[in-house]
Structure 1
């Protein structure tokens, strides 16, 4: 796994109890939760250096996720009968959308579309905070020697 893959997975994690931070010293993605949950000690926020060392990683919210599903549904080459739009307009649109993806055998196309959207969002976030991806990725690789290069 590469740093970008991990950042994208974090961005798409819809559990808002999961608080993720990017360690600017190591390039690692840190899940800051109770040690009983993660098996790792949480970030010591009393240490002032950590305020500069860690930056919170954004997460997609439900409104934005709905927007992405709508953008995908607009691609009529996948769904000429608008079944995805019908799913989005009913009760429990997220569940129905996913069920319809399976029904139409569009899961792979959806994952590629969602990944690309998330990748662009992460790149935009990195630009906004002037984070150098190549530098952070090198640090990430140094801390994950068995990851794919």
Structure 2
């Protein structure tokens, strides 16, 4: 069963800025606010004034921060003795080259754990900064799951 933190991490790491995610403070659910054609769910009615206080914009990683995270991973990993990840990050199309190098080195799982851990820490800092109680929201989220 998915956890609230997993959904928040997925929203944070979705680097498509045309995908606005919101945290529903009443239900603890993460909502992708797009046209119903794309999501199968009605979009948030922003005309309803109550919704302004009900939903909080989930932050997203930007490309500068994503590059920083890849550099940080490249510095800490022992799975790249020839520094291929650093080479991939230098030059044209660093994101694509980094991902290709992860595949070549067979360290996707290691990278995913690292990236998700980083995102979780950022989500916790964000929630603390906007004074949201994760445990309370997680309980609401869990009660809404089938």
Query: Normalising TM by the smaller chain, what interval?
Result: over 0.9
Equivalent residue pairs, number: 145
Taking the aligned partners of 2:141 and 2:15, their CA distance within structure 1 comes to 24
TM superposition score normalised by structure 1: 0.95
Which position in structure 2 is the counterpart of 1:49?
Answer: 50
Partner of 1:132 in structure 2? 133
Aligned to 2:8: 7
Q: Is the 8 A contact 1:76 1:82 kept in 2?
A: no
For the pair 1:85 / 2:90, whether they are aligned, the reply is: no
Partner of 2:75: 74
Superposed displacement of residue 22, structure 1 = 0.3
Instruction: Identify unmatched segments of 5+ residues in structure 1.
Output: none
Q: After the TM superposition, which residues 52-63 of structure 1 pair with which residues of structure 2 at under 5 Å, given as runs?
A: 52-63=53-64
TM-score (norm 2): 0.97
Q: Equivalent residue for 1:37?
A: 38
Deviations 1:30-72 (A, max 9, x none): 1111111111111111111000000000000000000000000
Aligned mates of 2:39, 2:109 — CA distance in 1: 30
Q: CA deviation at 1:76?
A: 4.7
**Which whole-Å deviations, capped at 9, do the CAs of 1:112-141 have from their partners, x for residues lacking one?**
000100000000000001100000000000
- Distance across 1 between alignment mates of 2:76 and 2:130: 32
RMSD across aligned positions (CA): 0.8
- Counterpart-to-counterpart distance in 1, 2:118 and 2:109: 14
Query: Is the alpha carbon distance of 1:113 and 1:76 closer, same or farther for their aligned partners in structure 2, counting shifts above 3 Å?
Result: closer
- Aligned with 2:81: secondary structure? coil
CA distance in 2, matches of 1:66, 1:128: 24
The residue number in structure 2 matching 1:104 is 105
Q: CA deviation at 1:75?
A: 1.7
Q: How far apart in 1 are the matches of 2:43 and 2:17?
A: 16
Question: Can you give the 5+ residue segments of structure 2 that lack an aligned partner in the other structure?
Answer: none
